[in-house]
Amino acid sequence: MIRSVFVLGSTSDVAKAICLELGRRGCSRFHLLARNGVANQQLASVLQQRFAAVVSTDTTDLLADASLEQVRWPEVGEFDLYLVTAGSLGDAELARCDAGEALRILAANVSGLIPWITAIATPERLARFGRLWVFSSVAADRGRPSNYHYGAAKAALTALCEGLLLRCHGKPFAVRIIKAGFMATPMTVGKAPSALCVTPGSVARDLLRRPNRRGIEYLPWWWSPLMLLIRHLPDSIASKL
Protein backbone atom coordinates (compact mmCIF):
# COMPACT_ATOMS: atom_id res chain seq x y z
CA MET A 1 0.00 0.00 0.00
CA ILE A 2 1.29 3.45 -0.89
CA ARG A 3 0.66 5.79 2.05
CA SER A 4 3.05 8.61 1.18
CA VAL A 5 4.35 10.07 -2.07
CA PHE A 6 6.98 12.58 -3.17
CA VAL A 7 6.19 14.05 -6.59
CA LEU A 8 8.60 15.96 -8.82
CA GLY A 9 6.50 17.65 -11.50
CA SER A 10 3.25 17.57 -9.53
CA THR A 11 1.48 20.09 -11.79
CA SER A 12 1.66 17.60 -14.66
CA ASP A 13 -1.79 16.28 -15.56
CA VAL A 14 -0.67 12.70 -15.16
CA ALA A 15 0.87 13.45 -11.72
CA LYS A 16 -2.41 15.05 -10.62
CA ALA A 17 -4.36 11.98 -11.78
CA ILE A 18 -1.96 9.67 -9.92
CA CYS A 19 -2.21 11.79 -6.73
CA LEU A 20 -6.03 11.75 -6.86
CA GLU A 21 -6.10 7.99 -7.46
CA LEU A 22 -3.61 7.50 -4.60
CA GLY A 23 -5.81 9.65 -2.32
CA ARG A 24 -8.81 7.47 -3.15
CA ARG A 25 -6.74 4.42 -2.22
CA GLY A 26 -5.76 5.76 1.18
CA CYS A 27 -2.51 7.64 0.56
CA SER A 28 -2.42 10.28 3.28
CA ARG A 29 0.86 12.22 2.86
CA PHE A 30 2.02 14.11 -0.22
CA HIS A 31 5.07 16.26 -0.95
CA LEU A 32 4.39 18.21 -4.15
CA LEU A 33 7.28 19.77 -5.98
CA ALA A 34 6.65 21.86 -9.09
CA ARG A 35 7.73 24.97 -10.94
CA ASN A 36 4.31 26.64 -10.80
CA GLY A 37 3.64 27.36 -7.12
CA VAL A 38 0.05 28.55 -7.66
CA ALA A 39 -1.06 25.46 -9.60
CA ASN A 40 0.78 23.31 -7.08
CA GLN A 41 -1.10 24.91 -4.19
CA GLN A 42 -4.40 24.23 -5.96
CA LEU A 43 -3.61 20.50 -6.10
CA ALA A 44 -2.50 20.60 -2.45
CA SER A 45 -5.88 22.13 -1.44
CA VAL A 46 -7.80 19.48 -3.38
CA LEU A 47 -5.87 16.66 -1.69
CA GLN A 48 -6.34 18.25 1.74
CA GLN A 49 -10.07 18.82 1.26
CA ARG A 50 -10.99 15.54 -0.43
CA PHE A 51 -8.79 13.15 1.51
CA ALA A 52 -7.78 15.08 4.66
CA ALA A 53 -4.22 14.43 3.52
CA VAL A 54 -1.09 16.00 4.99
CA VAL A 55 0.43 17.96 2.11
CA SER A 56 3.68 19.91 1.85
CA THR A 57 4.73 21.86 -1.25
CA ASP A 58 7.85 23.38 -2.70
CA THR A 59 8.97 24.89 -6.01
CA THR A 60 11.86 24.12 -8.30
CA ASP A 61 12.83 25.15 -11.81
CA LEU A 62 14.78 22.35 -13.45
CA LEU A 63 16.37 24.84 -15.84
CA ALA A 64 17.89 26.77 -12.95
CA ASP A 65 18.32 24.37 -10.03
CA ALA A 66 20.57 21.79 -11.69
CA SER A 67 22.95 21.10 -8.84
CA LEU A 68 22.88 18.87 -5.82
CA GLU A 69 23.39 21.90 -3.54
CA GLN A 70 20.17 23.43 -4.86
CA VAL A 71 18.08 20.36 -4.15
CA ARG A 72 15.90 21.30 -1.16
CA TRP A 73 15.12 17.94 0.38
CA PRO A 74 11.84 18.01 2.33
CA GLU A 75 12.20 17.64 6.08
CA VAL A 76 9.16 15.42 6.20
CA GLY A 77 10.65 11.95 6.40
CA GLU A 78 10.63 9.06 3.97
CA PHE A 79 8.09 8.24 1.28
CA ASP A 80 6.64 4.95 -0.01
CA LEU A 81 6.77 6.30 -3.58
CA TYR A 82 9.03 8.81 -5.35
CA LEU A 83 7.31 9.84 -8.58
CA VAL A 84 9.09 11.82 -11.31
CA THR A 85 6.73 13.24 -13.92
CA ALA A 86 8.47 16.51 -14.80
CA GLY A 87 9.37 16.82 -18.45
CA SER A 88 8.96 19.10 -21.43
CA LEU A 89 8.72 18.72 -25.20
CA GLY A 90 10.16 22.21 -25.63
CA ASP A 91 10.19 23.82 -29.05
CA ALA A 92 11.49 21.03 -31.29
CA GLU A 93 11.58 23.26 -34.36
CA LEU A 94 13.63 25.95 -32.57
CA ALA A 95 15.99 23.38 -31.01
CA ARG A 96 17.12 22.32 -34.51
CA CYS A 97 19.02 25.59 -34.86
CA ASP A 98 19.18 27.02 -31.33
CA ALA A 99 21.52 25.18 -28.96
CA GLY A 100 20.02 27.09 -26.01
CA GLU A 101 16.59 25.53 -26.62
CA ALA A 102 18.22 22.13 -27.22
CA LEU A 103 19.94 22.38 -23.81
CA ARG A 104 16.71 23.52 -22.11
CA ILE A 105 15.00 20.36 -23.42
CA LEU A 106 17.87 18.29 -22.05
CA ALA A 107 17.63 20.09 -18.67
CA ALA A 108 13.86 19.66 -18.29
CA ASN A 109 13.96 15.96 -19.17
CA VAL A 110 17.24 14.64 -17.84
CA SER A 111 20.10 16.83 -16.59
CA GLY A 112 17.82 18.88 -14.27
CA LEU A 113 16.38 15.63 -12.89
CA ILE A 114 19.75 14.08 -12.09
CA PRO A 115 20.30 16.01 -8.81
CA TRP A 116 16.86 14.87 -7.63
CA ILE A 117 17.31 11.25 -8.68
CA THR A 118 20.72 11.28 -7.00
CA ALA A 119 19.19 12.69 -3.82
CA ILE A 120 16.49 9.99 -3.90
CA ALA A 121 18.79 7.04 -4.66
CA THR A 122 20.91 7.05 -1.51
CA PRO A 123 22.42 3.68 -0.49
CA GLU A 124 20.33 3.78 2.73
CA ARG A 125 17.10 4.30 0.82
CA LEU A 126 17.88 1.62 -1.77
CA ALA A 127 18.37 -0.87 1.07
CA ARG A 128 14.80 -0.29 2.30
CA PHE A 129 11.39 -0.93 0.76
CA GLY A 130 10.38 1.92 -1.50
CA ARG A 131 9.61 2.81 -5.08
CA LEU A 132 10.88 5.21 -7.72
CA TRP A 133 8.63 5.66 -10.76
CA VAL A 134 10.04 7.74 -13.60
CA PHE A 135 8.14 8.88 -16.68
CA SER A 136 10.14 8.34 -19.82
CA SER A 137 8.63 8.11 -23.28
CA VAL A 138 8.35 5.89 -26.33
CA ALA A 139 10.30 8.74 -27.98
CA ALA A 140 13.38 7.28 -26.24
CA ASP A 141 13.30 4.22 -28.52
CA ARG A 142 14.19 5.79 -31.83
CA GLY A 143 15.36 9.24 -32.88
CA ARG A 144 12.70 10.97 -34.95
CA PRO A 145 13.18 13.98 -37.22
CA SER A 146 10.31 15.78 -35.46
CA ASN A 147 11.60 15.71 -31.86
CA TYR A 148 15.08 14.24 -31.57
CA HIS A 149 16.26 16.45 -28.68
CA TYR A 150 13.33 15.30 -26.54
CA GLY A 151 13.93 11.70 -27.69
CA ALA A 152 17.64 11.95 -26.84
CA ALA A 153 16.86 13.34 -23.38
CA LYS A 154 14.33 10.58 -22.65
CA ALA A 155 16.78 7.94 -23.97
CA ALA A 156 19.43 9.25 -21.56
CA LEU A 157 16.90 9.31 -18.71
CA THR A 158 15.86 5.74 -19.53
CA ALA A 159 19.46 4.46 -19.61
CA LEU A 160 20.27 6.23 -16.35
CA CYS A 161 17.22 4.81 -14.60
CA GLU A 162 17.77 1.37 -16.13
CA GLY A 163 21.23 1.36 -14.54
CA LEU A 164 19.63 2.26 -11.23
CA LEU A 165 17.00 -0.43 -11.75
CA LEU A 166 19.73 -3.03 -12.26
CA ARG A 167 21.65 -1.68 -9.26
CA CYS A 168 18.51 -2.37 -7.20
CA HIS A 169 18.19 -5.94 -8.47
CA GLY A 170 17.67 -8.19 -5.43
CA LYS A 171 17.11 -5.14 -3.20
CA PRO A 172 13.76 -4.11 -1.70
CA PHE A 173 13.74 -0.75 -3.49
CA ALA A 174 11.83 -1.00 -6.80
CA VAL A 175 12.57 1.18 -9.83
CA ARG A 176 9.87 1.44 -12.49
CA ILE A 177 10.48 3.20 -15.80
CA ILE A 178 7.35 4.12 -17.71
CA LYS A 179 7.72 4.48 -21.44
CA ALA A 180 4.51 6.36 -22.01
CA GLY A 181 2.82 6.75 -25.35
CA PHE A 182 0.57 9.70 -26.14
CA MET A 183 -1.49 11.00 -23.20
CA ALA A 184 -4.18 13.68 -23.48
CA THR A 185 -2.44 16.44 -21.50
CA PRO A 186 -1.35 20.04 -22.26
CA MET A 187 1.92 18.58 -23.59
CA THR A 188 0.23 16.96 -26.58
CA VAL A 189 -2.50 19.48 -27.46
CA GLY A 190 -2.57 19.69 -31.25
CA LYS A 191 0.49 17.44 -31.51
CA ALA A 192 -0.83 13.89 -31.17
CA PRO A 193 -3.61 11.98 -32.96
CA SER A 194 -6.50 11.84 -30.48
CA ALA A 195 -7.23 8.19 -31.37
CA LEU A 196 -3.83 7.25 -29.93
CA CYS A 197 -4.15 9.37 -26.75
CA VAL A 198 -5.09 7.83 -23.42
CA THR A 199 -6.38 9.86 -20.47
CA PRO A 200 -4.19 10.64 -17.43
CA GLY A 201 -6.85 8.90 -15.29
CA SER A 202 -6.49 5.63 -17.18
CA VAL A 203 -2.69 5.87 -16.89
CA ALA A 204 -3.01 6.38 -13.12
CA ARG A 205 -5.34 3.41 -12.71
CA ASP A 206 -3.11 1.21 -14.90
CA LEU A 207 -0.03 2.01 -12.82
CA LEU A 208 -1.78 1.55 -9.49
CA ARG A 209 -3.23 -1.80 -10.50
CA ARG A 210 0.28 -3.21 -9.90
CA PRO A 211 1.86 -0.82 -7.40
CA ASN A 212 4.83 -3.06 -6.63
CA ARG A 213 5.90 -3.61 -10.21
CA ARG A 214 9.53 -2.91 -11.15
CA GLY A 215 11.21 -2.76 -14.54
CA ILE A 216 10.62 -0.97 -17.83
CA GLU A 217 7.10 -0.94 -19.19
CA TYR A 218 5.19 0.58 -22.07
CA LEU A 219 1.96 2.35 -21.25
CA PRO A 220 -0.47 1.42 -22.67
CA TRP A 221 1.03 -2.04 -23.29
CA TRP A 222 0.37 -1.99 -27.06
CA TRP A 223 3.15 0.57 -27.54
CA SER A 224 5.56 -2.32 -26.98
CA PRO A 225 4.79 -4.15 -30.28
CA LEU A 226 4.29 -0.81 -32.03
CA MET A 227 7.73 0.44 -30.98
CA LEU A 228 9.28 -2.90 -31.99
CA LEU A 229 7.90 -2.23 -35.44
CA ILE A 230 8.99 1.42 -35.43
CA ARG A 231 12.54 0.50 -34.33
CA HIS A 232 12.80 -1.79 -37.35
CA LEU A 233 11.29 0.55 -39.93
CA PRO A 234 13.68 1.27 -42.80
CA ASP A 235 15.17 4.78 -42.75
CA SER A 236 13.18 5.76 -45.84
CA ILE A 237 9.94 5.37 -43.84
CA ALA A 238 11.31 6.42 -40.41
CA SER A 239 12.51 9.70 -41.93
CA LYS A 240 8.83 10.68 -42.39
CA LEU A 241 7.91 10.23 -38.69
Q: By the criterion CB under 6 A, which residues form the site for ligand NAP? A: 9, 11-14, 34-36, 39, 60-63, 85-88, 108, 135, 137, 180, 182-183, 185-188, 192
Shortest CB 52 distance to ligand NAP, Å: 24
**Closer to ligand NAP by Cβ: residue 79 or 182:** 182
**Closer to ligand NAP by Cβ: residue 193 or 234:** 193
**Closer to ligand NAP by Cβ: residue 62 or 155:** 62
**Closer to ligand NAP by Cβ: residue 103 or 171:** 103
Shortest CB 172 distance to ligand NAP, Å: 26
Of all residues in the shown chain, the one whose CB is closest to ligand NAP is 87
d(CA 158, CA 216): 9
d(CA 37, CA 18): 19
Residue 179: other Cβ atoms inside 10 A: 20
Q: In what order do the strands lie in the sheet with 130-137?
A: 54-59, 29-34, 4-8, 81-84, 130-137, 173-180, 215-219
**Closer to ligand NAP by Cβ: residue 188 or 224:** 188
Element (H, E) at 21: helix 13-24
> Nearest 5°: CA angle at 91, between 203 and 101?
120
Burial of 91 (0-12, 13-18, 19+ CB in 10 A): middle
Shortest CB 13 distance to ligand NAP, Å: 4
